[in-house]
Amino acid sequence: MGDGYLGNSHLKKVQENIEWTPELLKEYMKCADDPIYFSKEYIKIVHVDRGLIPFDMYDYQKEICDKIFKNRRVAVLTARQSGKTTTAVAVILHYILFNEFKTVAILANKGDASREVMARVKLAYEALPKWLQQGIEEWNKGNIALENGCQVLAGTTSSSAIRGKSVNFLYLDEVAFIEGYDEFFASVYPTISSGESTKLLMTSTPNGLNHFWKTCKGAKEGTNGYQYQEVMWYDVPGRDENWRKETIEALDHDEEKFNQEYCCEFLGSSGTLISGSKLKELYPDQPIAKAEGLTQYEKADKNKQYVITADVARGKGLDYSTFTIFDISEMPYRQVAVYKDNLIGPVDFASVLYRAAMIYNEAGILVEINDIGGQVSDVLTIDLGYENLLYTQNSGRSGKVLSPGFGKNVDNGVRTTKLVKNTGCSMLKMLVEQNQLLIRDYDTIQELSRFSKKANSFEAESGFHDDLVMNLVLFAWMTEQQYFKDMTDINTLTKLREKTDEQIEQDMLPLGFCDIGDPSFYEDDGIRL
């Protein structure tokens, strides 16, 4: 067998002797103290044309390296093809070479992606001079173990990925694309939070208004303990306006896609009910309480009036049973609490609804009864004796109308017909985009970012949910109803039109459309000649 680990001459064997000179010792210490120097001088990368070349770090790569070296948590939002993986490789190599008994975990939403990062780590390791290497104890696709007690693991972002392991440095690649992120992070958080020096590096391109958007938003505002780094397409040397135009052309002239993947814009899907510009402005509030599926943003106020809209599922782990509580005392209306659970059965859901409604001043409850929602309504009225259920009845061409519950063809809830949904979607769009309905819940905002046009309606994209959005749609439909006007003494449509007129007036004032108080300024038709 030749020199090196298992005959690989590029890898140092355990207990392989190195003849240390004062110059080498000095260089080793310089590398240990300065990860940027180490990366520039000793990391090699594969160039598409020139093969293995030195890592000539860009300024933003140096910043990322410095931030993770000096801090515990770093979130990096990057344009595509910006060298984020190479930077992560350099950081990981420095960490395992100049520490002892540390474990690095490389996790991605797909196993192939994490193994690709691991392959780059191994390639860069093999290119190091022997005096910088640690002896190899294990070297395979998913694991590296070094003589100094450090190891690198590669796997997928499942809830069991690193359960039971002591991880000192966690690298999450393309974190915005991790499915079931909340469950996954809840499982790994104890692992990375237990030590005082544990590190977390997450990198990704945007993927809608999801968990990574939330993390980046908090990092930019300095509210969640993460250091933030943003890499735009123009930060990469060699990319100019011609490059931008060519790239957009290669994307079939889809500028929205370019904006998301290269301008780092957290857009939802194309064709969303709520405009992309408005979705970008939405940001969740911090809940005041969260327990057993209920998230509260405001406590009940005895002087306020509330309503609840509810969407009922079968409780078999698929769709969610949800309800949203709204403050309707004045405009803008406010989302004050949200409930979401995909395991609860209809009877138990009715009990939760009842308790929440009683807390919020015996709020009016509107239940969707298309499927098994009627069972929930029956439990509320018959078994629990709740007296403030909201009803609907048929009204000719108007379709379903909100009702006090008297007369013929009365339903103890609302059937979401095509007309009800279309009206609700139209009203919801106006309410949100005119800032007359304040959305405060993270899950609701996320669903809105994936609630897109399909045929002649709107619904969640494949693989996503719209249960909370349907709460909003039903509420928006409700605000247009005469019975709602009678309940609140608020004419929502009139208020929206007034807001629109105010905005038009404000937009026109800079153009000089104003009365200067001089009658001679105008002719009979009010227009200046």
Q: Which of 27, 63, 174, 447 is catalytic?
A: 174
Q: By three-state DSSP, how is residue 82 classified?
A: coil
How many Å apart are CA 116 and CA 133, to the nearest integer? 21
Is-cis flag, bond preceding 332, omega within 30? Answer: yes
> Tokens at residue 62, please?
């140096």
How many Å apart are CA 176 and CA 178, to the nearest integer? 6
**494 Cβ contact list (under 8 Å, min separation 6):** none
Specify the pairing of strand 364-367 against strand 451-454: unpaired
**152 Cβ contact list (under 8 Å, min separation 6):** 92, 96, 103, 104, 105, 106, 118, 121, 143, 144
- 3-state SS, one letter per residue, for 93-160: HHHHHCCCCCEEEEEECCHHHHHHHHHHHHHHHHCCCCCCCCCEEEEECCEEEECCCCEEEEEECCCC
H or E element that contains 527: none
Q: By three-state DSSP, how is residue 78 classified?
A: strand
> Tokens at residue 354, please?
């009842």
What is the DSSP-derived secondary structure letter of residue 17? Answer: -
Q: Is residue 174 annotated as part of the catalytic site, yes or no?
A: yes
Catalytic residue ranges: 174
